[in-house]
Amino acid sequence: MKVIDKGLQRYAAEMRQLNKVTVKVGIQTEDANTPGSNGTPLIDYVEFNEYGTEDIPARPLHRDAARVYEQQLADVQEQQVAAVMGGKKTATEAVHAVGAWYQGIVQHHLINGPWERNAESTAKKKGFDQPLLDKKLHFNSIKYKVVKS
């Protein structure tokens, strides 16, 4: 018997690849301990802002971005899976496309989110009242990573 494969093997392999990976967007482990302008590790700064403290209002960047862009993320994921199924992209290309897209979304949300402005004393010290942008360390540390599930 002669087997004529019209792409089913490739399709099956690419679908298996998609099921073996996860895209993580946010502060990656290798950047977590990077010191900010006052010496506070980045991960602490992010947590203080995400959940708030006695002196810092909560600015839940990651939770808010996930909520606001949930449907768009689902649409992008669907488009990328369709591109893999149609043979237009590999699984690797698709997951990197989703990661890069969502990284950009979170960075955009950091700058444009509905955040309470910095306190007057903080604004005076930093020279601006836009929260979450101290030397863009947080912004520049938002990255995506593809990991095996």
Contacts of 84 (CB under 8 A, 6+ apart): 14, 15, 18, 90, 91, 94
**Residue 3, pLDDT score:** 73
* 3-state secondary structure (DSSP) of residue 33: coil
For 103-132, write each residue's pLDDT tens digit: 999 999 999 999 989 889 988 988 888 888
Q: What is the pTM of this model?
A: 0.89
Judge whether residue 82 has pLDDT over 90. Answer: yes
Per-residue DSSP letter, 122: H
For 41-50, write each residue's pLDDT tens digit: 999 999 999 9
* Distance in angstroms (rounded) separating the CA atoms of residues 40 and 34: 8
Q: Which spans in the chain are helix H?
A: 8-18, 42-51, 61-68, 70-85, 91-112, 120-126, 137-141
Average pLDDT over residues 70-81: 98
The answer to whether the CB of 117 falls within 8 A of the CB of 130 is: yes
Judge whether residue 142 has pLDDT over 80. Answer: yes
**Residue 15, pLDDT score:** 87
**Residue 125, pLDDT score:** 86
* Distance in angstroms (rounded) separating the CA atoms of residues 102 and 104: 5
Average pLDDT over residues 30-59: 92
